[in-house]
């Protein structure tokens, strides 16, 4: 169900503040037409730019917006046959009814797809779903004949994989409170801030590694060589000179775009999106670079000193097939870990793939957060 706080957050991200009456009108439209907060805000922005010259929403223009954008949308009808929704769990064969008038009757599966292949294997990591077909065991996975086969190796592999009493310490870096974060949810502003933060850190590392002067903003012109920083904008190699590109400044330059002439630089290699620091002369809207720096390589770390062998097992997701949410690969992985316990087990996501067809179709009966937490606890 749409949440008013999330709706206000979506508008606030775009610099739009709503009063209580307008926010209530927006929430009412979301609820009546089953539109989530982000989709509603995107629809409003498109409508406002096309019809209202980008005006902010009001109760009056929201009424016009609803009439023009949602007039042809039929409000989903609630089922009059039954008010309870059946939720299935792979851990048992019983159906768990959920009594709520907020849910509508799920679409019926075809007769062929409703048949669940018989399997005595317990599926520990499948989510709660509206139809048991979602976590039907995969015939393709169970019929494979290359289980446990080594497909690639590097160096001299150990003769056997056997856990030992190796003692080690794990240190966690950049501990972040994730209680306020949502799984599979990032706004464009959040992504942009994260990317810009990485650019700033990388530029600072380049300056420190090459012992350069502190970079200055693009607005400071002069005939003396100075240090600048920025990232290379996308360019067409067929239309752009190999010695001239456009760069966008970082926060100190208010993300201003300026031309960079590299004709006087002896050697350089650049690509779109690359963060570079350069020394040159800024005249007008063009910087003539004399030197260009892009390396911030760290010293090679000393090899670890271990008193005994340390067995590390790394597995990468997704851990289920594209046609089911049975998570049989993850079950097999855990079985292997129990049989051959390593010293360290590293799981690389995604544990839950938001683009999985069964999830995209809305067939699971729990949130991503609850599903993920359940998998990790198990």
pLDDT for the residue 132: 66
Per-residue pLDDT, 173 = 74
Q: Using the predicted structure, report yes or no on whether residue 140 has a pLDDT greater than 80.
A: no
Q: Confirm if 347 and 353 have CB atoms less than 8 A apart.
A: no
Omega before 350 cis (within 30°)?
A: yes
Q: Which of 80-89, 108-117, 279-288, 311-320 has the lowest mean pLDDT?
A: 108-117
Q: Report percent pLDDT > 90 for the chain.
A: 22
pLDDT at residue 307 greater than cutoff 60? yes
269-275: Cβ within 8 A, 24+ apart: 269/294, 270/232, 270/245, 270/294, 271/232, 272/232, 272/233, 272/234, 272/235, 273/231, 273/232, 273/234, 274/231, 274/232, 275/199, 275/202, 275/203, 275/206, 275/229, 275/230, 275/231
For residue 211, what pLDDT is reported? 92
Distance CA 335, CA 255 (A): 52
* Tokens (6 digits) for 235: 């360019």
Q: What is the mean pLDDT of residues 247-270?
A: 91
Instruction: Give me the pLDDT at residue 98, please.
Output: 45
Per-residue pLDDT reduced to its tens digit, 162-214? 656 666 677 777 777 767 666 556 678 888 888 999 999 999 999 999 999 99
Query: Residue ranges of the alpha helices (H) in the chain?
Result: 4-13, 20-33, 37-51, 59-69, 139-142, 188-209, 328-339, 357-360, 368-377
What is the pLDDT at residue 182? Answer: 64
Burial 295-322 (b: 16+ CB within 10 A, else e): ebeeeeeeeeeeeeeebebeeeebbbbe
CA separation for the pair 324, 137 (Å, rounded) = 7
Q: Tens digits of per-residue pLDDT, 319-340? A: 888 888 888 888 888 888 888 8
**In the predicted model, is pLDDT for residue 75 greater than 70?**
no
Report residue 105's pLDDT band, with 50, 70 and 90 as the boundaries: very low
pLDDT tops 90 at residue 290: yes
Residue 102's pLDDT is what? 42
Does the pLDDT of residue 66 top 80, yes or no?
A: yes
Residue 134 has pLDDT above 70, yes or no: no
Q: What's the rounded mean pLDDT across residues 77-88? A: 49
């Amino acid at each position: 169900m749409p949440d008013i706080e999330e709706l206000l957050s979506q508008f606030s991200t775009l610099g739009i503040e709503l009063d209580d009456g307008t926010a209530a009108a927006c929430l009412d439209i979301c609820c009546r037409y089953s539109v989530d907060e982000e989709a509603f805000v995107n629809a409003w922005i498109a409508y406002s730019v096309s019809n209202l010259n980008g005006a902010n929403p009001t109760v009056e223009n929201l009424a016009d917006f609803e009439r023009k954008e949602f007039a042809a949308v039929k409000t989903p009808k609630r089922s009059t046959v039954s008010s309870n929704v059946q939720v299935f769990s792979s851990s048992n064969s019983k159906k768990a009814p959920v009594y709520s008038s907020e849910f509508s009757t799920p679409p019926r599966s075809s007769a062929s797809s409703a048949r669940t292949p018989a399997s005595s294997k317990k599926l520990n990591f499948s989510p709660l779903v509206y139809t048991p077909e979602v976590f039907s065991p995969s015939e393709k996975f169970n019929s494979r004949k290359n289980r446990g086969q080594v497909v690639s190796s590097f160096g001299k592999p150990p003769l056997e994989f056997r856990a030992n009493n190796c003692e080690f310490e794990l240190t966690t870096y950049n501990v972040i409170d994730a209680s306020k974060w949502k799984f599979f949810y990032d706004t464009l502003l959040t992504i942009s801030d994260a990317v810009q933060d990485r650019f700033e850190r990388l530029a600072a590392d380049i300056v420190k590694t090459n012992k350069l002067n502190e970079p200055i903003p693009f607005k400071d012109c002069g005939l003396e060589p100075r240090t600048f920083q920025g990232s290379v904008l996308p360019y067409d190699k067929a239309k752009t000179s190999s010695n001239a590109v456009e760069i966008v400044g970082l926060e100190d330059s208010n993300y201003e775009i300026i031309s960079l002439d590299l004709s006087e630089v002896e050697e350089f290699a650049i690509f779109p999106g690359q963060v570079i620091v350069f020394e040159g002369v800024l005249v007008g809207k063009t910087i003539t670079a004399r030197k260009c720096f892009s390396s911030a390589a760290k010293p090679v770390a000393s090899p670890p000193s271990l008193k005994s062998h340390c067995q590390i097992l790394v597995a990468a997701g997704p851990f289920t097939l594209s046609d089911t949410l049975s998570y049989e690969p993850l079950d097999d992985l855990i079985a292997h870990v129990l049989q051959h316990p390593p010293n360290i087990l590293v799981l690389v996501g995604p544990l839950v793939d938001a683009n999985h067809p069964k999830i995209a179709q809305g067939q699971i009966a729990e949130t991503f957060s609850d599903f993920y937490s359940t998998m990790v606890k198990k």
